[in-house]
Each structure stands twice: as C-alpha cells, then as structure tokens.
C-alpha cells in the first residue's frame, strides 16, 4: 500500500468510526427510552413473573442481570433519557451527533431549557475534554474519588538577586 492509499484508508476508517459512534449513541438513546419505560411503570416485573408490588432496587437489578445489562449502564441511559428527552423536551434528532457521555456529564448543569440549549450547542462544538472544562468554568475538574488532603502551607522567600527559593529554617 503506498502513502496515498494509506491516507485514503485512514480517512475512510475514521469516517466509519464516526458513523459507528453516531449509531451507537442513537442506540443508547433508544435503549434509554425503553429502560425508562420498563422501570418507571414497573413493566419489567411482568416479563419474569416478579411480584408487581416489589419496588426494591433488588428486583430491578435482578431483571437487568437476566438481560445481561449492567445496572450502572442502564442507569446512565435512563438518566440521559430522563433529563434530555423527558424533562427538557429534546428529541433524539436534536441530540444527534453529540456523544452521550458529554450530555451525561452536563446533566447537573442542565437546570432549565435555556441553560440546556447553551450546553447542547457547546457540546456540539467542543471536544469532550474542552466541554468538561467549559462545564467547570474553564478548569479541569478533579476526578479524585475522595476528599482532598491538603498539605500545610509553607512560606518560601525568594532571593531578589538570583530568584532562588529560600525555605525558612525550622524552629
């Protein structure tokens, strides 16, 4: 394969990846819609003859296990559907081309439709990492799972002549 063929093949594969990602995102929206309805109305209980009065998360988890759907994945899809489609009134077509992870990251910020419109426009425009920075006021958020432990502040003097840091002597 010569260099021109490699370039052409790379571009074709990249285009295919974008198309596959869009199909995957659309599938996520469709799955979220079905999972939302199954959970909201408790319809999932009827497929396997579960107790229709059992409202525990255990019953929902058991249903998802039977479907080989991880609970966290199902809840991710339901959260996206609930916020963007049900609460804010977007259609799946309105959200086409925006990766579902971007919109899931924006859920806490989408408090009303006017704010959501701005978020949707920025999500269309920005790559994921820049969108996350946009959500957090231009700063990279900390993903550390625990509360931060801060070190004690140490005062440091700087030499006016050479710029070298001079740490204070311990008392």
What are the boundaries of each domain within the chain? 3-140
Instruction: Classify residue 166 by its DSSP letter.
Output: E
Instruction: Tell me the CA distances in angstroms from 146 to 105, 107, 164, one per residue in order.
Output: 19, 22, 35
DSSP 164: -
Global confidence as pTM: 0.74
Q: What is the pLDDT of residues 71-128, one digit of tens each?
A: 999 999 999 999 999 999 999 999 998 999 999 999 999 999 999 999 999 999 999 9
pLDDT of residue 67: 93
* Longest pairwise C-alpha distance within the chain: 82
| Segment among 14-23, 29-38, 142-151 with least mean pLDDT | 142-151
């Amino acid at each position: 394969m010569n260099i021109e063929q490699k370039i052409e093949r790379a571009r074709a594969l990249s285009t295919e990846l974008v198309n596959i990602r869009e199909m995957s995102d659309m599938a996520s929206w469709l799955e979220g819609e079905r999972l939302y309805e199954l959970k909201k109305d408790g319809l999932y209980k009827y497929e396997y003859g579960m107790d229709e009065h059992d409202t525990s998360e255990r019953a929902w988890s058991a249903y998802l296990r039977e479907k080989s759907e991880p609970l966290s994945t199902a809840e991710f899809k339901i959260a996206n559907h609930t916020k963007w489609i049900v609460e804010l009134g977007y259609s799946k077509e309105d959200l086409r081309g925006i990766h579902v992870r971007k919109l899931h990251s924006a859920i806490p910020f989408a408090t009303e439709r006017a704010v959501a419109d701005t978020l949707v426009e920025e999500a269309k425009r920005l790559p994921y990492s820049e969108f996350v920075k946009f959500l957090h006021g231009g700063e990279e958020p900390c993903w550390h799972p625990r509360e931060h432990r801060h070190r004690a502040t140490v005062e440091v003097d700087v030499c006016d002549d050479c710029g070298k840091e001079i740490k204070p002597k311990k008392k």
